Structure 1
Amino acid sequence: MRATSPASHCRSMAATALREPAMSDPGMNLYNELHGITVPALLRRRAERYPFQLALSAQSHRGYRDRLSYAQLVMRMDAVARGLAERGVKSGERIALFLSNSAVREAVLTALGCYRLGAIVAPLNVRGADEELRHALTLVEPAFIVTTADAAERLRSLYPAARMLMLGGAPYAGDGWPDPELEFHRAALPENECAETPTVLLFTSGTTARSKAVTHCHRSQLFCGYAIGGAIGLSNRDTYQGAWPIFTSSVLNMACMSAWVYGASVVLEETPLDNAGRLHLIETEGTTVYHGVTSPLHFMIDEYQRGGYDLSRVRRIAYGGAAMPAEVIEKFRERLPRADQVHVWGMTETGPAGTYLAPWFLPRKAGCIGAAQPGCSVRVVDEDGAPVSTGESGELLFSGPAMALGYFRNPEATRETFVDGWVRTGDIGRMDEEGHFHFVDRKKDIINRGGLKISSAAVEDVIYRFAGVSEAAVVAIPHAGLGEDVAACVVAAAGVTLDTGALQAHCARHLADYATPRRWFILPALPKNPMGKILKRELRDALLLQLQGQEAA
């Protein structure tokens, strides 16, 4: 297998079996519409078709929620682009964002301004440590950093070469962000019509090692929106809301593009926002489709049960990031009977487009990640890259126009992951007789106990069935004779005391003897990234230190 360049990727797509709508399907017209256009071009088309329809609801750093129609959004995009150009931003330069969702309005408008100018936006993790931020800034080499005044000094110390553009500064100030409501410029804007022009650098979640920057372009962003928006069934009558940090692929690539490709409205949540605030926002915005990570959704549906919230407009719940426990699926079915559920799977390198499990397969196929999303192709291969038979496990590969260009300034990693028009995901899965995919585990999370391979995800699924377990993570720990053994880390539900002996017996009834955890750790919480994904690398490191301490004692 050979690595694929962006140009050869475009040529190879014609020979790739993609999941596309039938030629008579209206979705085919949309699929064709997106070919060869840019994000600003799409927004101009939506502004012509739906000028007064809500396009974006987002929190401003000034403390209010801005609600912009499609026509207003295009005007703001051009105004920010002109303001950035006046400050010296040039096509091809990188502009870093160091903003939380309390300023998600400013973050999204900056990104759109960069797209309009041909610059590249790079959102940074506001919860990152200095070492992580220094790595990101050194890799990206931004010409400018958009941030708040209280973070500017820290960022200057980490990367002195960049100019700061601070929110809340005086209008027209050289070190201030160009707020389109306070500044008016007449600068001419370039026409960037190439869909392959890089637009955004999105850092991988960092659950395994030092994060890489994934390079996306207009084409991949738009087709990510086509894939995910189609999978969850968005239309121009929908209001689409979710809890997504701006520095992940979930805001700029998934949420905004899914809504705007289908002419829907997107509601971005601010930070901090508790579950009560989230439910109130769903109510006041008239949200019809809510999308979140599985773990926070569990807590949200419990809060819904306690409060008097009106979610009568919600017709669909979408989730991803991890398998949704069957118990939580049932809670949503009971408490929000009018809202069906869709499970989506993807990763930053794939858009994050990927697969989806349609509502009518639940609850029968709970835990299954479903079929390829519109415009996408997924297959399962062995270690040599050959397709495996139905029911056999192998690595999941993704292909489609939503896939990224590669890793920024990392040709070796690009060659390893982007191969012959396919993304090697590092996820182990299998396909069943109905053509649906099942996530087995991350390659790195497979436990090798004396030569017997154990899926940590399968063990976690059994643990979640035990009453009183709020969260669970299964990892490998060293074993002198077997190489690795199975350790289970669990968090008890509020007011519950867990009995590890009973947990062990429960697992023994449902798992092979070698897959039953030998070590149990009851923890107050599990380490997570900002999207709510459990950081197993940190968990393994913490357990290793604890075990080494016990041996030393």
Structure 2
Amino acid sequence: MEDPAEILALTVPQLLRRRAREARPGIALSARSIGGWRDRLTYGQLVQRMDAVAAGFHALGLRAGDRIGVLLGNEAGRECLLTALGALRIGAAVVPFNTRASDEELEHALTLAEPAAIVCTQAVASRLARLCPGARLLAIDGAEGGTEAWPEPLAVEHAPAPEEAPDPDRLGCLLFTSGTTARSKAVMHSHATMLGAGLACGAALGLRASDLYQGGWPFFTSSPLNLGAMSCWIAGAGLVLEEPLDNRGRLRLIASERTTYYHGVPSVVHFLMEEFARAPSDVSSLRRIGYGGSAMPPEVIRRLAAQWPHVEQVQIYGMTESGPAGTRLEPAMMEAKLGSIGSAMPHCTIDVVDEAGRSLGPGETGEILIRGPGVAKGYFRNPEATAEAFVLGGIRTGDVGHLDPDGFLYFTDRRKDVINRGGLKVASVAVEEVLYRHPGVREAAVIAVPHPALGEDVAACVVPREPGGLDTDALAAFCAAHLADYARPRRWLVLDELPKNPMGKVLKTALRARFAGAAGA
């Protein structure tokens, strides 16, 4: 058993070199290439590819301290992860950008991060050139026009990049929040906090060196790097990164890769079960399923146990700022503590605090605070938000809950007005801000409404400036120009006025009730 302090003293490249020297059997990474083939790499091969990409970056003039952006989807998962490792190897930081962002959202992220180069495809190069004039674009599908070629490790040879002085506190990645404020913030993770998140999550999940851990998390979230890659590589396991697949494709990949551990947001797990019920396939290799990002309905937990009795379940809770380390609900406690989001992961502590930051006792409701080795260093170029959120040696989650006498956490509500749509979080205020820009909108309020598979969906309640003067189809098209696809309202309610309390605050509880009434009419 490795000493956790020893792991946290390493950089990510140092960890991979250690695993390669151990000659671990099996694969370290299975991921799809932009060329359509799946690359399966041992630890030794992964280190070779990392060094080759790093050498290519160095030959292009990229250096320690630079930020290297990535605007790629999981259909290029191989190139995503090799870019990240190449950047970390030269002492640069990787910055994954949201492939589903609107132009406005992406331009904000690009302006904030100021990447020295952006790895992309030719399909998005013109968009990036328009949003970030003068940006250096490295295309994984070859140089063309104003782009340069990404250093494909199988096609180019460069002099080895010089070894950087090991510094676990060096910035490793910037990960953008998924909508907890009107403007997305860039969370700063060092090598140490990336590995700290992997250390906590891997222990919580119960990963083994023999595991193949499959997930389809978008690369722009914290999960592929910190939850997926770091957890696996600390355990000596293999990461199977999904390309965009339908549910039948996910099941086929489980069968072909002999996946032992599947992880997804609850809606994905739910869809997998439905697809399996329609057409059973080989899931005999699975020993565990993990899920997080939103609440798993208890009835779905019970159905999963009945449908796949040989598969254990693990639920986790965390956020980008915590690594995403936080809590876990283990198989042995799944039934006894059904409804809980678990107890603190190994190496983490969970506290429930009042507005003054005082710890509350069992059964008392307050804000959830997470402490642990995966907690980020703060928000990039945002000291005010950092000072507000990173307090008491941890991160304020903005979520409200309580602990029971056994230390198990129960989620109650959100302090932040955030909609959790299938694990992707949407700030109501961000959507409202866009709606208020439309000349036909006098007032707007955005709420979460139940969705049978995604958990929550985005609903907009709008008051027109002129009676009968709002076309919701036109409003939807307007939102499409300014919001990520998952943040756009799918359901609409046009009202004469928004309900308010005597202080003028919009009563969103009343809106939810009125929306439910309108939907059921």
TM band (smaller chain):
0.7 to 0.9
Alignment match, 1:353: 325
Q: Which residue of 2 aligns with 1:293?
A: 265
Taking a change above 3 Å as real, the CA distance of residues 538 and 301 of structure 1, as seen in their structure-2 partners, is: same
Question: Is 1:389 paired with 2:361?
Answer: yes
CA positional deviation for 1:245:
0.4
* SS of the residue 1:194 aligns to: coil
Distance (Å, rounded) in 2 between the aligned partners of 1:143 and 1:548: 50
Q: Does 1:134 align with 2:94?
A: no
Residue 18 of structure 1 corresponds to which residue in structure 2? none
Secondary structure at the counterpart of residue 54 of structure 1: coil
Residue among 175, 191, 214 paired with 2:187:
214
Per-residue deviation, residues 357-386 of structure 1 (Å, max 9, x unmatched): 111112232221111111111100001100
Which secondary structure state, in structure 2, belongs to the residue aligned with residue 438 of structure 1?
strand
Work out which of the residue numbers 154, 159, 163 in structure 1 matches 2:132.
Answer: 159
Which residue in 2 is equivalent to 1:498? none
SS at match of 1:439: strand
Match of 2:386 in 1: 414
> Aligned partners of 1:211, 1:226: CA distance in 2, in Å?
27
Q: Within 5 Å, give how 1:437-456 maps onto structure 2.
A: 437-445=409-417
Post-superposition shift, 1:204? 0.4
Matches within 5 A, 1:96-111: 96-111=69-84
CA RMSD for the aligned pairs?
2.9
Q: 1:547 aligns with which of 492, 495, 500?
A: 495
Aligned to 2:508: none
Contact 2:136 2:147 in 1 (8 A): no
Within the candidate set 179, 200, 204, 2:152 is matched to: 179
AA at the equivalent of 1:386: R
* Separation (CA, whole Å) in 1 of partners of 2:158 and 2:334: 53
Aligned pairs for 1:142-153 within 5 A? 142-153=115-126
Q: Cα gap change, 1:69/1:428 in structure 2, threshold over 3 Å: closer, same or farther?
A: same
The offset of 1:549, in angstroms, is 8.2
- 1:40 aligns to 2:52 (yes or no): no
Give per-residue Cα distances to partners, 1:295-324, cap 9 Å, x unaligned.
121111110111131111111111011111
Q: How does 1:315-330 map to 2 (within 5 A)?
A: 315-330=287-302
1:331 aligns with 2:303: yes
Distance apart, 1:36 and its partner CA: 1.3
Paired with 1:54 and 1:46, the residues of 2 have a C-alpha distance of: 11
Shift of 1:426: 0.7
- 2:399 matched to which residue of 1? 427
Q: 1:385 to 1:492 in 2, by over 3 A?
A: closer
Equivalent position amino acid for 2:449 in 1: C
The Cα offsets for residues 384-441 of structure 1, whole Å up to 9 and x where unpaired, read as: 1001121011011111111111000001000001113111111111000111111112
Residues 380 and 395, structure 1, Cα contact 8 Å, conserved in 2: yes
Alignment match, 1:282: 254
Assess, with a 3 A threshold, how the Cα gap between structure 1 residues 549 and 392 changes in structure 2: closer, same or farther.
closer
**Does residue 84 of structure 1 match 2:93?**
no
Shift of 1:349: 0.3
Cα distance in 2, alignment partners of residues 130 and 122 from structure 1: 17
Aligned to 1:436: 408
The amino acid of 2:271's aligned partner reads: F
- Aligned residues of 1:329 and 1:363 also touching (Cα < 8 A): no
- Are the structure 2 counterparts of residues 487 and 399 from structure 1 closer, same or farther at C-alpha, using a change threshold of 3 Å? closer
Q: Secondary structure at the match of 2:55?
A: helix
Does 2:461 correspond to 1:489?
no
Q: Distance in 2 between matches of 1:211 and 1:257?
A: 24
Partner residue, 1:370? 342
Classify the secondary structure of the residue corresponding to 2:28: strand
Inter-CA distance 433–167: structure 2 relative to 1 (3 Å threshold): same
Task: For residue 161 of structure 1, report the CA deviation from its aligned partner.
Answer: 2.7
Secondary structure (helix, strand or coil) at the match of 2:64 reads coil
SS at match of 1:353: coil
Q: Which secondary structure does the structure 1 equivalent of 2:124 belong to? A: helix
Aligned match of 2:241 = 268
Over the matched positions of the two proteins, sequence identity in percent amounts to 50
Shift of 1:191: 2.2
| Change in 2 beyond 3 A, CA 1:548/1:258 | farther
Instruction: State the Cα distance separating 1:542 from its structure 2 match.
Output: 6.2
**Partner in structure 2 of residue 93 of structure 1:** 66
Which residue identity lines up with residue 440 of structure 1 in the other structure?
A: T
Q: Which runs of 5+ in 1 are unaligned?
A: 1-25, 447-455, 461-472, 479-484, 494-532
Match of 1:6 in 2: none
Aligned to 1:503: none
- Within the candidate set 279, 286, 299, 1:314 is matched to 286
Amino acid of the structure 2 residue aligned with 1:353: A
Is the CA contact (8 Å cut-off) linking 1:324 and 1:366 kept in structure 2?
A: no
Q: Conserved in 2, the CA contact under 8 Å of 1:117 and 1:192?
A: no
Q: Contact 2:54–2:161 (CA<8 Å) still a contact in 1?
A: no
Structure 2 unpaired stretches of 5+: 433-444, 454-483, 500-521
SS of 2:263's partner is strand
For 1:365 and 1:547, locate their aligned partners in 2 and report how far apart those are by CA, in whole Å.
42
**Judging changes above 3 Å, is the alpha-carbon distance between structure 1 residues 492 and 258 closer, same or farther for their aligned structure 2 residues?**
closer
> Displacement of 1:490 after TM fit?
3.9
Corresponding letter in the other structure for 2:296: M
How far the C-alpha of 1:129 sits from its partner, in A, is 0.5
Displacement, 1:85? 0.6
Contact 1:120 1:200 in 2 (8 A): yes
Counterpart code for 2:267:
S
Shift of 1:330: 1.3
Read off the aligned partner of 1:232 and give its amino acid letter.
L
CA contact (8 A) 2:90 2:161 kept: no
Q: What pairs up with 1:471-510 in 2 under 5 angstroms?
A: 489-491=449-451
Q: Distance in 2 between matches of 1:227 and 1:74?
A: 24
Corresponding residue of 2:316? 344
Contact residue 60 and residue 103 of structure 1 kept, 8 A: yes
What is the DSSP-based 3-state SS (H/G/I as helix, E as strand, rest coil) of the residue aligned with 1:185?
Answer: coil
- Give the corresponding residue for 1:525: none
Distance 1:492 1:231, change over 3 A: closer
Match of 1:179, SS state, is coil
Q: Deviations over 1:257-278 (max 9, x none)?
A: 010000000000002x000000
Give, in angstroms, the shift of residue 548 of structure 1. 4.5
CA contact (8 A) 1:50 1:263 kept: no
Distance in 1, matches of 2:128 and 2:447, equals 39
> Partners in 1 of 2:446 and 2:141 — Cα distance?
52
- Aligned partner of residue 444 in structure 1, secondary structure: coil
Q: Distance in 1 between matches of 2:398 and 2:355?
A: 11
* Aligned-residue offset at 1:169: 1.2
Q: Deviations over 1:436-478 (max 9, x none)?
A: 11111211349xxxxxxxxx99xx9xxxxxxxxxxxx9x99x9
Q: 1:266 to 1:305 in 2, by over 3 A?
A: same
Measure, in 1, the Cα distance between the counterparts of 2:160 and 2:450. 58
Query: How big is each residue's C-alpha offset from its partner over 1:485-529, in whole Å with a ceiling of 9 and x where there is no partner?
Result: 998734468xxxxxxxxxxxxxxxxxxxxxxxxxxxxxxxxxxxx
The structure-2 alpha-carbon separation of the partners of 1:426 and 1:534, relative to structure 1 and needing over 3 Å to count, comes to: farther
**In the aligned structure 1, how far is the partner of 2:193 from the partner of 2:51?**
22
